[in-house]
Amino acid sequence: MRNRSEIEAAAVKAITEILAEDGEQAPRISGGSALTDLGVTSLVFARVAIDLEDELGVDPFKESPVGEGGPRTVDDLVDSYVGALSESGPR
């Protein structure tokens, strides 16, 4: 299983790359960065989630679609994947 720092690195990479594809440059990203402040729209979030599902093999939003209570910061997003990976067991 991947550790939290590897998951965070994958999330930051996905956010940065997708924003770059859209012609945006993400400001410095930290765990406490609000996704909206980074320019992460619902469409960008969906693309990030797809990239992370491909890389990590889990979709923490499958059973509970993202809504008002969804991730607001990079740390929240990472926590979602950490939790989903721990529930799915060793890989």
pTM for the whole thing? 0.88
CB 85 within 8 A of CB 58: yes
- pLDDT digits 0-9 by tens, 32-44: 999 999 999 999 9
- CATH number of the domain at 12, please: 1.10.1200
Nearest partner of 74 among 27, 35, 16, judged by Cα? 35
CB 44 within 8 A of CB 19: yes
CB 10 within 8 A of CB 88: no
CB 16 within 8 A of CB 25: no
pLDDT of residue 25: 85
- pLDDT digits 0-9 by tens, 52-83: 999 999 999 887 666 556 899 999 999 999 99
Domains in the chain, number? 1
The Cβ-side half-sphere exposure at 71, using a 13 Å CA radius, reads 27
**Residue 69 is part of which domain span?**
4-24+31-88
